[in-house]
Amino acid sequence: MLLMGEDRIDEAVAHAAKVLRGAADRDWSVPAGGLDWTCLKTAEHIAGDFVAYAGQLTGRPTDAYVPFETALDDGTGPDGAIRVIEATGRMLAAVVRTTPRGVRAYHPYPCGSADAPGFAAMGVAEVLLHTYDIARALDIDAEPPASLCEAVLAHLFPHVPPAPSGGTPWTTLLWATGRGTLPGRPRLAHWRWHNAASLPAGPLALRQVTPAAAADLAAGGTGGLDWVDGGPFEGTRTAAVMVMKAYAAGVYRPEWGMYALIRTADELAVGGMGFHGPPDDNGCVEVGYDLAEGARGRGYATEALRSLSRWALDRAEVGTVLAVVDPANVASQGVATRAGFTRLPDRAPNLAFGLSRA
């Protein structure tokens, strides 16, 4: 189970508190490993991230961070700093637990906003990694449970290939954040995590499905979503398997992956849509889609296909969006036609429809 939520925050905070209490009697005025901050300042930073992320989800700004800071009282020592990490971590967990689906707030990477699972994942990443930074300086072990590392990687680092031979989820996370090395990979000097994007489409939003959510869908789960009757449909689960295969092979590019179609009026998922992979050398990218039976006949797929096609054709590397449809699937042919696609030479035994940049 790789989905991200308040339980992951609680697990990560408990891990950090246990690790750090093992070194509470040491000198926290020394610089944390790899940072300019002292260990005490790094602990303050962890707490500040927790409160800042909670503030983003409660204040819900769309273009900036909520303007406040968190600081330890003068004279606070290691024991007090650990208690502050525990308290602020629980604050973030409580906010994530009570934030309605669909709420997004400003965060710069990479699409300008994140949802509650995204802020939860960032909080988990911050506490795991900065606990490691402190532990390095104090010469103690800080390796977290592998399941936590896998969840962070599958949510925030979908562009990072999974652990190679000789690596683990923890060493992969350290490599992905410039803190370690992996066999056959150059050390990173610069890095960014990736929050799932949300694209508007009339009454819908197209929300990127992370490898974490795809794994749950592929295993028969909901992907962390609430679905209309009859969902998710078979095509959505098949697409989730494709995402997982690409992720496992280290070739997954999240922007050219899978999107859930969310009806914003009630935050119910009505279907799935996405690409079969990145654009080919000729600038052609193939799209596929399906709707749950309880959501058909309302124009949802057409609206979503228009929106996703516009997004794709705005990318310099795309010249044509291709839809390949079974001849017996008259409904899908109608979706493509209403979205502005025109017939192309058949891709036997299927029909082909294309939309090109004007």
Same domain, 211 and 333: yes
Q: Which two tokens stand for residue 203?
A: 């009454």
- Tell me the C-alpha distance between 3 and 15, whole Å: 18
Same domain, 252 and 121: no
Residue 193, in any domain of the structure: no
Asked if omega into 327 is within 30° of 0 (cis), the reply is: no
Task: Give the residue-averaged pLDDT of 44-65.
Answer: 98
Same domain, 138 and 223: no
Mean pLDDT for the chain overall: 96
Q: Which two tokens stand for residue 272?
A: 């799935």
Q: What digits encode the pLDDT tens for the residues 316-355? A: 999 999 999 999 999 999 999 999 999 999 999 999 999 9
Q: What digits encode the pLDDT tens for the residues 201-225? A: 999 999 999 999 999 999 999 999 9
Residue 298 domain boundaries: 198-356
pLDDT over 80 at 310, yes or no: yes
Same domain, 171 and 24: yes
Residue 183, in any domain of the structure: no
- The CATH number of the domain holding residue 139 is 1.20.120.450
- The CATH number of the domain holding residue 207 is 3.40.630.30
Q: What digits encode the pLDDT tens for the residues 97-149? A: 999 999 999 999 899 999 999 999 999 999 999 999 999 999 999 999 999 99
Residue after which a domain boundary falls, among 176, 210, 226: 176
CB neighbours of 92 closer than 8 A, spacing ≥ 6?
A: 6, 9, 50, 51, 53, 54, 119, 120, 123
Q: Which two tokens stand for residue 144?
A: 């977290």
